[in-house]
Chain A
Amino acid sequence: AQSVTQLDSQVPVFEEAPVELRCNYSSSVSVYLFWYVQYPNQGLQLLLKYLSGSTLVKGINGFEAEFNKSQTSFHLRKPSVHISDTAEYFCAVSGPRTGNQFYFGTGTSLTVIP
């Protein structure tokens, strides 16, 4: 089965500093990759997705992620974070071989410090 590993459960970062949230998945074969954000007491919102094509994907709110097939990674980055970016971030994978399932990571809690 497919699996997703988010290497950091908590990431504190100062406002206006860059941030990288790490995500690795278990299979390099035909995967679709997603990052979601969950603000307190809300549902998950899609930040960005990789289905095919360019390995650098740009999403909403200034976030971007890079698909690295050789390292089976899909790390999320933002060059300058804001207080409003404080939230839980989830990496997810699906694909033709996941049996129609989405596999979510355990989440990374990003805290932006003023």
Chain B
Amino acid sequence: DSGVTQTPKHLITATGQRVTLRCSPRSGDLSVYWYQQSLDQGLQFLIQYYNGEERAKGNILERFSAQQFPDLHSELNLSSLELGDSALYFCASSVAGLSEQYFGPGTRLTVT
């Protein structure tokens, strides 16, 4: 157990819908990262937050947004969902920006 929690574990929704994925980092970790993992794209970095502020942006679509709250948990919002958004979404946390990341168990999103 990495100490990073993600909810829900599974999510099935229809195209065009909007969903919110939630992540609670390890106690004491200030950085939160979001990744998307699919069979054809591999592991893709989406976005990073550090202590409530956006720090780095990767291959995140405009339909996707994220935030980190004062209690350091983070949410990833995915809107206007398409079939191609079906993937595993991982959250990871670290103490600081460059140290090792600890991954949550992931949320499996299925868009039908």
Contact = CB atoms under 8 A, between A and B. Distances in A.
A55 B16 CA distance: 50
Contacts of A104: 42-43, 45
Contacts of A42: 105-106
30 contacts: A32-B98, A32-B99, A34-B100, A36-B103, A42-B106, A43-B2, A43-B90, A43-B103, A43-B105, A44-B92, A44-B103, A45-B2, A90-B43, A94-B97, A95-B98, A98-B98, A99-B56, A100-B31, A100-B48, A100-B50, A100-B56, A100-B97, A101-B45, A101-B56, A101-B58, A102-B45, A103-B45, A104-B43, A104-B45, A106-B42
A43 B58 CA distance: 20
Interface residues of A, number: 22
A35 to B, nearest CB: 10
A46 B45 contact: no
A46 B100 contact: yes
- Main SS at interface, chain B: strand
Interface residues of B, number: 24
A61 to B, nearest CB: 16
Interface in A90-113: 90, 94-96, 98-104, 106-107
A101 B48 contact: yes
A32 B100 CA distance: 9
A102 B97 CA distance: 9
A46 B94 CA distance: 12
Contacts of A100: 31, 48, 50, 55-56, 97-98
A6 to B, nearest CB: 10
A107 B100 contact: no
Contacts of B42: 104, 106-107
B104 interface: yes
A19 B10 CA distance: 34
Nearest to A92: B101
